Chains A and B, each alone.
Chain A
Amino acid sequence: MIVAQEPPIRIMLAKLGLDGHDRGVKVVALGLKDHGFEVIYLGLHQTPEQAARAAMEEGVDVLGVSILSGAHETLVPRLMEQLRLQGTPEIPVVIGGFIPDDDLQPLLDMGVARIFLGDTPISEIASALHEIVAATSHRG
C-alpha cells in the first residue's frame, strides 16, 4: 500500500538493443501508472549507455529494461557496468521479456534485482517493485 504522503515510485522503462517488441513494456507502463507509479518510458533501440545515463539524469528509483531478442547476454552486463562506471550502482535494475531459463541465474548473479517473464500479472510486478525500492538505500 502506498501511504498518502509518500511520493510515487519513479521507474524508467526502456527497450534495450534492436528488439522492437514493445507491447509488453507498454502494457507494464500503463499498468504501473494505474498502480500509482510515475513511469518514464524511454522507447525503443536504447543502448545500455543511454539507458544508464537517462536513469541517472532522471534520478529514478528503479530501471526496468525489456528484451525479447536474446541480446540480454551482451547488453545486460554492459548496462550493469555502465551504472557502476557512472557512480550509480545503487539504482536497482529489473528485466522484463523473454529470457531462457538457463540464463536467469547468471543475470541475477550479475546484480539484476528481479526478472519478470511473460504473463506475470502487473499487480505482482508492482508489489515486487515496492519491495525492491524499499530495500535499496537509494531511496533512503
Chain B
Amino acid sequence: MFDTDSFDQLKQKLADWDQRYGSLRTEQEKNKSYRTESGIPVKPLYTPLDLAEQGFDYAKDLGFPGDPPYTRGPFPNMYREKPWRFTQYSGRSTAEETNRLYHEQLEAGLTSIEVAFDLPTQLGYDPDHPMAAGEVGKVGVPVKSLRDWEILFRGIDLDKVYVFSVSNAQASVILSMHLALAEKQGADLKRLLGGMHNDILKEYIARGNFIFPAEPSVRLVGDTMLYCSEMAPYYDARLMCSIHIGEAGANRIHEAAFALANSIAYLDEVQQRGVNVYEVVRHGLLCTTYCNHTDFFEEIAKIRAMRKLWGRVLSERYGVNDPAAQQLRFNGSQTGSPLTKQQPLNNVVRTAISVLIGALSGVQSVDPRTFDEGWGIATREAEILSLRTNQIVAHETRITNTVDPLAGSYFVEWLTHEMEERIWGEIMRIDQMGGMVRAIEAGYPQRVIAHDAYDRQKAIESGESIKVGVNAFREDESGRKVKTYKAKAEVARQHLQELETLRAERDNHAVQNALDNVMRVAERKPQGKDNNLMLPIMDAVKSLATTGEICTALRSVWGEYQQPRVI
C-alpha cells in the first residue's frame, strides 16, 4: 500500500498522536468495552496502518463496481441510472384484497411486490386441515391453488413487475403457479425476472416453517434450481437467505456464515447429481439479508464481505470463475425484532437508518418494516410511510450520485476484511461437521443462534445495550392505541367455501393422476437431470390440485421433519 519509509513515518506520527491525546481518555472510556454487535473489538481510530497490516490491496480487495470481487457493488453504475427497488413484504387475508393492496402499492411507487403467505399455505395445509384452525389468512394471504395466484396478480404483468415470494417448504408449488401464470399471461419465461426464498435449510435453523425432513427438502431445492436453469434462467429460483437467521438472533458473522453454508449445501446437491454447478449459478444469485440499524458499520461490512465471499466459494469450491456467476445481488430487509412496541413512531427513524444502510451497502432492493410492526399486521398507511422512507432516502439525499461512497474508509475496509475472515472461519467449521445438513442434525447452528439471541437479551437487560423506550428513555405507555390490520372473522369460512367449489368444479380424476405421479417421482432418486419433481408438481398445479394436496402427497412419501431437542 505504501513504501517502508512512509509506513514507518506514519507509525511514528500515530504514536505521537496517541501520546498527546491518550491522556485525555477518561477512566470510563478506558474501561468500556467497544465492540461490534458480533463482538469484534473496535479501536478508537483507524488509519492506513490497519489496512496495511491486513495486507490490503485495492485491486484484489476492492476492484471496481461491476467486477469481481464485487466489494464495491455488483453493477458498474449502481444507483446513478435508477435507485434500488422499493419493496414491501405484505399480504392480506384473501387473494382479492391482496390484489387490491398490490395495485395501490404500485400506484404509490412500489417497484417490486413481495408476497406474504399465511402460515397454513407456508406449511402446506389447506384451510380445512385441523392444523390450520385459527391461522387462515392471519399473517398473509392463503394460496390454496393456482386460482388464488391468478386472482392475486389480476391486472399485474409478471414480466413487468418484479415479484418476490417468501416461499420455502412449499416453494416448488408456488414456483409452478408463478411460471404457469406467467406463461398464461404470455410472458417470455426465458426473460422472466422475479424470485423466491426457496432456502429450506434456514427454516430448520431459524424460521421454523419446514415440512419434510432435510434431505428430500434439499433435493426439492435442487429440482427447482435445475428446472429454472432451463425454463426460466433469469428467475431467482433460490435465494441465499441470511435475513431469517439474523432475525432469529444470530450475530452478523453467524448470520452470513450459516447462509453461505446453506447455499453450499444446495450446490453440493447439484454436484452430487453429476450436474455442473455452473448451470444453476450462471446468472448470479440474490441474497435477502438482515439490514438493521443496530450496528451501522458492521451491517455494511457484512454485505460487502458477503459479496466477496460468494465469489470465493464459487471459485475455490466449484471452480466457477465466470464473473457473471460470482455476482451476488442483495435485498436488504429490515426486520421486526430491533423495532419496539413502545413509542412506535421511533420506528420510523429506525427504518430510515436501515434504508440508508442498504443504500450505502449497495443493495438492489430494500424492504423496510412498518412502524406499527410491534402492534400487529400493518395498515396501508403504515406501509405507504415505509415506501416513502425508501423514496426519501433515494431521491432527496443525493447519496445515489456516486458508487460505493464508503469505500476507502479505513474503518469500513478494515471491518469488511475482518468480517470476511471470521465468516470464512465459521464456514470452515460447518465443513468440519460434514456440511450444513449434518450440522443441523447435530443442532449446532440452532444452539449458536439461540445463544446469540440470549446474549443480546442479556445486554439489553443489563443496560449495556440501549434500546430507546425499552430499557431507557421510557414513557408511560398506558392508554396508547395503534391501529392495525385484522383479518375479518368470516375469512376462514370464505376459504373453506372456495375450496369446496374448487373441488366440485375441477377434474378430480386428473388431479388424482397428477398427485399419484408426484408420489411416484418423489420415491425415485434424482439422477442427473432425471426424476425432477418440478414436472409432476407443475402438472398437479395446472390440474388445480391444492397446495395442501401436493404437500400431503410428498408427506406420504417422505414423512415430516422431527426437530432435535436443542435446549
Residues facing B in A2-47 (CB within 8 A) are: 15, 17-23, 26-27, 29-31, 39, 41, 43-45, 47
B134:A27 contact, CB within 8 angstroms: no
Q: B341 touches which one: A29, A43, A117 (CB < 8 A)? A: A117
Please tell me if A135 contacts chain B, counting CB pairs below 8 Å.
no
Whether a CB of chain A sits under 8 angstroms from the CB of B315 is: no
Q: Inside 8 A of A23's CB, which chain B residues have their CB?
A: 247-249, 337, 449-450, 453
| A74–B208 touching, CB < 8 Å | no
Give min CB distance, B4 to chain A, whole Å.
Answer: 51
Given A20-B203, A20-B208, A23-B453: A69 and B138 interface contact (C-beta under 8 Å)? yes
Binds B, one of A51-59, A82-90, A107-115, A118-126: A118-126
Measured between beta carbons, the chain A residues less than 8 angstroms from B297 are: none
Residues in A neighbouring B453, C-beta threshold 8 A: 23, 26-27
A132 CB–B CB distance under 8 Å: no
Q: A20 contacts which chain B residues (CB < 8 A)?
A: 203, 207-209
User: Which residues 141-158 in B have Cβ within 8 Å of A in the complex?
Assistant: none
On chain B, the residues within 8 Å of A70 by CB distance are 134-135, 138-139, 376-377, 487
Q: B interface, by DSSP: helix, strand, loop or mixed?
A: loop
B451 in contact with A30 (CB, 8 Å): yes
Partner of B131, one of A22, A47, A101: A47
Task: Pick the most buried of A15, A17, A27: most chain B CB atoms within 10 A of its CB.
Answer: A27
Residues of B within 8 A of A122 (CB): 457, 461
User: Contact check: which of B457, B484, B567 meets A100 at CB < 8 Å?
Assistant: B484
A-contacting residues, B515-567, CB 8 Å = 563, 565, 567
* Count of interface residues, chain A, beta-carbon cutoff 8 Å: 35
Tell me if A17 and B207 are in contact (CB < 8 A): no
Given A20-B209, A23-B249, A39-B567, A119 and B134 contact (CB-CB distance below 8 Å): no
Check A128 for interface membership: any CB of B closer than 8 A. no
Contact A119/B340 with A18-B123, A23-B248, A69-B119 known, Cβ cut-off 8 Å: yes
**10 tightest A-B CB contacts, nearest first:** A20-B208, A74-B134, A18-B119, A71-B134, A26-B450, A70-B138, A30-B454, A41-B567, A43-B563, A20-B209
23 cross-chain CB contacts under 8 A: A17-B135, A19-B208, A20-B203, A20-B207, A23-B450, A26-B450, A30-B450, A31-B454, A43-B565, A44-B208, A45-B208, A47-B130, A69-B119, A70-B138, A70-B377, A70-B487, A71-B119, A74-B135, A101-B481, A117-B341, A119-B340, A119-B341, A119-B470
